[in-house]
Chains A and B, each alone.
Chain A
Amino acid sequence: MLKFILRRILETIPVLLCVAAMTFFMCRLAPGGPFDDDKQVTPEVRELLDKQFNLDQPLYRQFIDYVVNLPSLQSFKNPSHTVGGIISEKFPVSAKLGFFAISIALGLGVLFGVIASLRPNTYIDYIPSSLAMIGICLPTFVMGPLLILVFSLQLDWFPPTGWGGFNYDQFFAADMVLPSLTLGLFYAAYISRLTRGGMLDILTQDYIRTARAKGASGLRVILRHALRGGLLPVISFMGPAVAGLIAGSFVIEKIFAIPGLGQEFVNSVFNRDYTLVLGVVMFYATLIILLNLIVDILQVVLNPKLKFD
């Protein structure tokens, strides 16, 4: 297992280098630059700025500089902050949003999926399954405003925007509910359908009958004998889901005005903040690779027929 993890970590190095190169050069290919603002600057000032941010150096030198010193580079728009500083300041907010969303997705998804699979083709199955279908069909940028409309503007249960009222030390606040729900429900829908399918497949297996013949209670049959195999499709889905969750959080943070890394990322692209774009891309790429590695390890741990190789 250690060898497997080591090999996978070594494999990520070329992947990350490719991501870095593509991001860097695509940014430079895009029209405009960090200083092409509404406010025009004189050529002298421009020259000084270019010098300060090393834009006067050849591209390949800049690239090497960016790759080697990435976390400690200055942000173009916010020169008093480094890339690493901005990420470590903003990411906890996004991570918490992601954590809430994934808890909702797994909790509701698995629960409804299992319930639906126990009584297939009855109302107990149809109702959660059709809700899930609606959830899959509604993109987050439709679901978000809809939830705001109903739960904030009509019912006035939760604030429509914000994140802990800008008090970041709070673990939970009412204004975290709607963004977490918007992001989580979409994946809950997927996961409930995957769970239902996986469980239906497992519940008709002979070994479930064996478990019942042993005298196992209904709950024990589900929890101990069926869920493990039934959740394997969900585990496989968690890799892509986490990547999607991160991308989804860009939209959610924008809709709900959450000061997270996603918003920072979107703004940095519009600002052509070369250093920050690269920094956030590299950070997210590493995160996705890491989470996928964890998912792969989990799969082997849960399925004794798989081996590390």
Chain B
Amino acid sequence: MPLLDVNDLTTYFHTRNGVVRAVDGVSFQLEKGETLGIVGESGSGKSVTCMSMLGLIPQPPGRIERGTATFDGTDLLHCSPKELQSIRGRRIAMIFQDPMTSLNPYLRIEDQLIEPLLIHGLADKASAKKQALEMLDAVGIQDAASRIRGYPHEFSGGMRQRVMIAMALITKPDVLIADEPTTALDVTVQAQILELIKKEQQELGTAVILITHDLGVVSGFCDRINVMYGGKIVESGPTKEIFYNPQHPYNRALQNSIPALQAKGKELYTIPGMPPDMSKPSAGCSFAPRCEHATHLCTAEPPELQSLGQAHTTACLRVQRENLKP
């Protein structure tokens, strides 16, 4: 049985401009200790997927319409708020995109670090402080003993993200959700942060869900990848399959757009058109308007994820029915 089994998760935002279908029937599994990447462009629903599971969606306007997310026997979407609270931060921890704003500017680093341990009653104050210091040391903060008394504004962006990681991992959670953990950081720090997550993951045996729009980041980091587009998973498979045997036209187009993989001097490939307006449901495949292979079939019938073997699934009618070759 997988550690986390998400089934048909659907989250809509009911706004004045209509219903925004941010996440529309997403299903995936996460095994113990594994690393899952969720890739997609802005607004594809990757963050909302993970925040829905933890009940962090502002409600209203957000609403989880249907689906289940079974974590170790508990359905996160339908359990009591108390139950969810006891899982949040203790068994499933999360780190966020912007470390500059994700730490409370009015509280000392130490108080924020020990908070998860105190909330969940995992340690008394003295031993929590000791663990916080060890954790801060482990994430590579120099002179942790004195820095721990400082406030967030005295730390740089990379250092703050290290603090966030220390805070998330201090309870030794089963799952760490990293929501674009390196997006707000500069390139040299990005690699350090990813290495740090990897190192801690191996030490603690934590499963990691890495949300990112950077294909370069997931390629070296993840065991499996879900590609999301328009609130749906359009392709899913082992990292190798996703990169060496891409099927869905969106996935192929994404890979063609990676600057590093193209010959120098050649004009960079871009996907034509704009991401879909999520408040207007489409009858068929949401990528069809931008897809160079789309036919009348694609705009009429919604595609379902179907297996292609090797745990590789894709949601493209043309690939499924006509064996569209790249």
Which single member of B94, B106, B115 contacts A304 (CB below 8 Å)?
A: B106
Q: Mark A214-245, 1 if CB is under 8 A from B, else 0.
A: 11110010001100110000000000000000
Q: How far is A303 from B108 in the complex, measured between Cα atoms in Å?
A: 11
- Of the listed stretches A92-100, A201-209, A258-266, chain B binds A201-209
Q: Mark B115-138, 1 if CB is under 8 A from A, else 0.
A: 110011000000000000000000
Please count the residue pairs between chain A and chain B whose beta carbons lie under 8 angstroms apart in the complex: 70
- Of the listed stretches B35-43, B67-75, B83-91, B315-323, chain A binds B83-91
- Of the listed stretches B96-104, B225-233, B255-263, chain A binds B96-104
A214 and B106 within 8 A (CB): no
CB nearest neighbor in A for B99: A206
B89 and A215 within 8 A (CB): yes
Which single member of B88, B90, B104, B116 contacts A207 (CB below 8 Å)?
A: B104
B89: chain A residues within 8 A (beta carbon): 213-216
A228: chain B residues within 8 A (beta carbon): 106-107
B90 and A215 within 8 A (CB): yes
Q: How far is A225 from B107 in the complex, measured between Cα atoms in Å?
A: 8
Tell whether A215 pairs with B101 under 8 Å between CB atoms, given A206-B96, A228-B106. Answer: no
Tell whether A207 pairs with B120 under 8 Å between CB atoms, given A215-B85, A216-B115. Answer: no
- Interface membership of B28, Cβ < 8 A: no
A214 and B88 within 8 A (CB): yes
- Interface membership of A57, Cβ < 8 A: no
B56: chain A residues within 8 A (beta carbon): 209, 212-213
A207, A211, A216 — which one has the most chain B CB atoms within 10 A of its CB? A207
Q: How far is A206 from B152 in the complex, measured between Cα atoms in Å?
A: 13
B106: chain A residues within 8 A (beta carbon): 228-229, 302-304
B102: shortest Cβ distance to chain A, in Å? 5
CB nearest neighbor in A for B108: A304
A215 and B119 within 8 A (CB): yes
Q: How far is A228 from B106 in the complex, measured between Cα atoms in Å?
A: 7
- Interface membership of B54, Cβ < 8 A: yes
Count of residues in A whose CB is under 8 Å from the partner chain: 21
CB nearest neighbor in B for A122: B60
B105 and A217 within 8 A (CB): no
A206 and B101 within 8 A (CB): yes
Q: How far is A225 from B104 in the complex, measured between Cα atoms in Å?
A: 7
B125: shortest Cβ distance to chain A, in Å? 14
CB nearest neighbor in B for A232: B106
Which single member of A210, A217, A303 contacts B102 (CB below 8 Å)?
A: A210
A217: chain B residues within 8 A (beta carbon): 85, 119
Q: How far is A215 from B56 in the complex, measured between Cα atoms in Å?
A: 11
- Interface membership of B243, Cβ < 8 A: no
Tell whether A304 pairs with B96 under 8 Å between CB atoms, given A216-B115, A217-B85, A220-B119. Answer: no
CB nearest neighbor in B for A215: B89
CB nearest neighbor in A for B88: A215
A3: chain B residues within 8 A (beta carbon): none
A304 and B105 within 8 A (CB): yes
Which single member of A205, A213, A220 contacts B101 (CB below 8 Å)?
A: A205
Q: How far is A209 from B115 in the complex, measured between Cα atoms in Å?
A: 14
- Interface membership of A39, Cβ < 8 A: no
Q: How far is A303 from B105 in the complex, measured between Cα atoms in Å?
A: 8
B87: chain A residues within 8 A (beta carbon): 215
B86 and A215 within 8 A (CB): yes
Q: How far is A303 from B107 in the complex, measured between Cα atoms in Å?
A: 9
B175: chain A residues within 8 A (beta carbon): none
B85 and A210 within 8 A (CB): no
B90 and A210 within 8 A (CB): no
- Interface membership of B208, Cβ < 8 A: no
CB nearest neighbor in A for B151: A304
- Interface membership of A61, Cβ < 8 A: no
A206: chain B residues within 8 A (beta carbon): 96, 98, 101-102
Q: Mark A19-60, 1 if CB is under 8 A from B, else 0.
A: 000000000000000000000000000000000000000000
B90, B101, B104, B108 — which one has the most chain A CB atoms within 10 A of its CB? B104
Q: How far is A215 from B118 in the complex, measured between Cα atoms in Å?
A: 10
- Interface membership of B167, Cβ < 8 A: yes
Q: How far is A64 from B174 in the complex, measured between Cα atoms in Å?
A: 78
CB nearest neighbor in A for B154: A304
CB nearest neighbor in A for B100: A206
CB nearest neighbor in B for A205: B101
Could you jot down 9 A-B contacts, CB within 8 Å?
A: A207-B103, A207-B104, A211-B104, A213-B54, A213-B56, A214-B119, A215-B119, A302-B106, A304-B105
Known: A214-B89, A217-B85. 8 other contacts (CB 8 A): A207-B101, A207-B105, A210-B104, A212-B56, A214-B167, A215-B89, A215-B116, A305-B153
Residues of B within 8 A of A (CB): 54, 56, 85-90, 93-94, 96, 98, 101-108, 115-116, 119-120, 151, 153, 164, 167
